[in-house]
Structure 1
Amino acid sequence: MASPSHSSTSPILLNIGGRTYATTVDTLTHREPDSMLAAMFSGRHTVPKDPDTGMVFIDRDGKHFRHILNWLRDGVLPLLHDSQYQELLREAEYYQLIGLVDYINENMKKPDDEDPELTRRDIIKCIQSERLRFRGVNLSQLNLSKLDLSFVDFTFACLKNTVFSHANLQKAKFGDVEAVGSNFEDANLRECEFLGANLSGSTLDRASLQSANLQDASLVDCSFCKADLRSAHLQSANLAGANLTGANLEGANLKGAKLAGTNLQGANLQRAYLREVDLRETLLEGAKLGGANLLGAIR
């Protein structure tokens, strides 16, 4: 047990859920003085020890306790995977290691959760002065609604959960962007380039996408309700689970597009190019298919 007879450098043997560790009173009490561990080994309490091994037993998972000891010794942790951070966080909370809890929460932030590199005001200043490119810039979670962003180059940008509703984005370039969960409701996206973009889970209801290029784009679970996709290029796009209820796809090219679970009820597919498309799991009730090219399509 820890008692006044033990110096701060006296060895303490711990059995944490079957794993054994050796440390000192000073390590357990110095860095986090308000923690449960500090209270246990402060000398104010009698801590039961195994009479044979001299170990103090704590009934917790001992897998990550070495990280806790290293934190108490040095105030740092190695780079861990998110799942390891989550497991270590539970242990840190149990031991009431507030400093370690804060450290883990900070380091668990993914790059996608980082603050955007520019603000809405920065964007407005840029578009007022000249047509700048935002290639590869992190603009995640910004509210860029109602702005005139026509012709802007967002290629390779991170636009996750970014709001573009009612914005003018005509002929803007979104090639290879990461735009999961973004909002393009009622936006002007005519002739935009989304080649290879990831828009999974995004909302594009009532957006104007006439003649837009969405080839090879990931549009999984996107909502295109009543969107204007006339003459849009959707070759090999992944539209699995997308909602295109009432969308206008007249003359659109969907050759090789993935439409499993896609909702095309009430959509206008007149003169659309649907060659080699599997329509067996597609909802087509009320859809207009007059003049559509269905050569090789599976129905």
Structure 2
Amino acid sequence: MTNDSDSSSLIRLNIGGKKFCTTIDTLTQREPDSMLAAMFSGRHTLCQDPEKGYVFLDRDGKHFRHILNWLRDGVVPTLKDSKYTEVLREAEYYQLLGLIDGIHAILNKKKEDEELDTELTRTDIIKCIQSDRVRFRGVNLSGLDLSKLDLSFVDFSYACLRNVFFSRANLHCAKFKDVDAEGANFHNATLRECEFTGANLRGALLAGANLQNACLINSSFCQADLRSAHLQNADLTNANLEGAILEGANLKGAKLSNTNLKDANLQRAYLRQVNLRDTHLEGAKLDGANLLGAMR
């Protein structure tokens, strides 16, 4: 791409197949230290369509309109909680520090507001789990930090667990039947033999979580991050994992009857000898997945 002395000249962008039109000013002025500003500074050669002039970027274009609107107006978009994580990922890729700070500020404010409405505190939970049998059925625990606690065998059925922080917690044999855990963080948590029947974990973070022998029947993990999760022998019958990230996940022996994995990322996942005959895989990414002996 040649240098253009007119910084307000139009730029056509192709972001993963979605087309956008903007100006060099928009891409460079608000966030001058960003990757986009560097790309369009004139110092770099760009991948440009010689016929139509589109500059191609190999990213998901679904949220790029929010990126452009931030660069135009400096206003953080108003989104559902689960979408902020997706936009944050794009902002981090493009190195838009102002947008990153803005999203974190909104998420922190939401967490503070949720904690004000929460029925129990972390201290209350710690006191409760010292008893023999613990139930939090139907309780609102939204936004609590329950990381690194031993919550094995605790019954959370029907509870509101939105944005709860369960990172590295021991939740062995815990019950999550019909919970609303949208946006919850189960990063590296132990969830072996847990029951998630009918649970909503849309947009939840379960990267590295151990879900061996867990029951996930009729649950929703749409857009959830299950990167490198352990799902050996888990029952995902009728579960909805549309758009979920299962890159590097181990699904050895998992039950995937009528499981929705449309548009899911299953790159490098372990699916050896798994029965995929009744699994919905339209648009799923299977590059590098181990499908040896899988029934399709």
- With the length of structure 2 as denominator, give the TM-score of the two structures: 0.60
The equivalent residue for 1:218 is 220
SS of structure 2 residue aligned to 1:124 = helix
- Report the counterpart of residue 76 of structure 2 in structure 1: none
User: Counterparts of 1:135 and 1:112 in 2: how far apart (Å)?
Assistant: 18
Within-5 A mapping of 1:235-246:
235-246=237-248
Partner of 2:293: 291
Counterpart residue type for residue 236 of structure 1: N
What's 1:169 paired with? 171
- Tell me which residue corresponds to 2:262: 260
Q: Structure 1 pair 232/158, CA: closer, same or farther in 2 (3 Å)? A: same
Q: Distance in 1 between matches of 2:237 and 2:180?
A: 19
Letter in 2 for 1:185: H
Query: Residue in 1 aligned with 2:281?
Result: 279
Shift of residue 288 of structure 1? 0.6
Partners of 1:127 and 1:247 lie apart in 2 by 31
Q: CA deviation at 1:280?
A: 2.8
Counterpart selection for 2:233 from 214, 231, 234 = 231
Moved over 4 A (4+): 111-114
Determine the C-alpha separation between the residues in 2 that align with 1:114 and 1:240. Answer: 33
Give the superposition deviation at 1:289.
1.1
For residue 260 of structure 1, give the secondary structure of its aligned residue in structure 2.
Answer: coil
Q: Once the two structures are superposed, what CA deviation does each residue of 1:81-139 show, in whole Å capped at 9, x if it has no partner?
A: xxxxxxxxxxxxxxxxxxxxxxxxxxxxxx97861111000000011122211000000
How many angstroms apart in 2 are the aligned matches of 1:135 and 1:293? 39
> For the Cα contact (< 8 Å) 1:256–1:277, is it kept in 2?
yes
Q: Give the letter aligned to residue 282 of structure 2.
A: R
Letter paired with 1:209: L
Q: Which letter does structure 2 place at the counterpart of 1:118?
A: L
2:184 to 179, 182, 185: 182
CA RMSD, aligned part only? 1.4
CA distance in 1, matches of 2:203, 2:118: 20
Match of 2:56 in 1: none
Structure 2: which amino acid aligns with 1:200? R
SS of the residue corresponding to residue 130 of structure 2 reads helix
- Uncovered stretches (5+) of structure 2, i.e. residues with no partner: 1-112
Q: Quick check: 2:115–2:144 contact (8 Å CA) kept in 1?
A: no
Q: CA deviation at 1:292?
A: 1.9
Pair member with larger Rg: 1
Question: Paired residues, what number?
Answer: 184
Shift of 1:279: 2.0
| Counterpart residue number, 1:24 | none
Percent of residue pairs identical:
56
1 CA distance for matches of 2:116 and 2:294? 45
Gaps in structure 1 of 5+ consecutive residues: 1-110, 295-299
Structure 1 distance, partners of 2:195, 2:229, is 16
Asked if structure 2 preserves the Cα contact closer than 8 Å seen for 1:215 and 1:233, the reply is yes
* 3-state SS, counterpart of residue 123 of structure 1: helix
**Cα offsets for 1:194-253 (capped at 9, x unmatched):** 000000000000000001011110100000000000011101111111000000001111
Of 96, 120, 123, which aligns to 1:121?
123
Question: What's the counterpart of residue 132 of structure 1?
Answer: 134
Name the amino acid aligned to 1:224: L
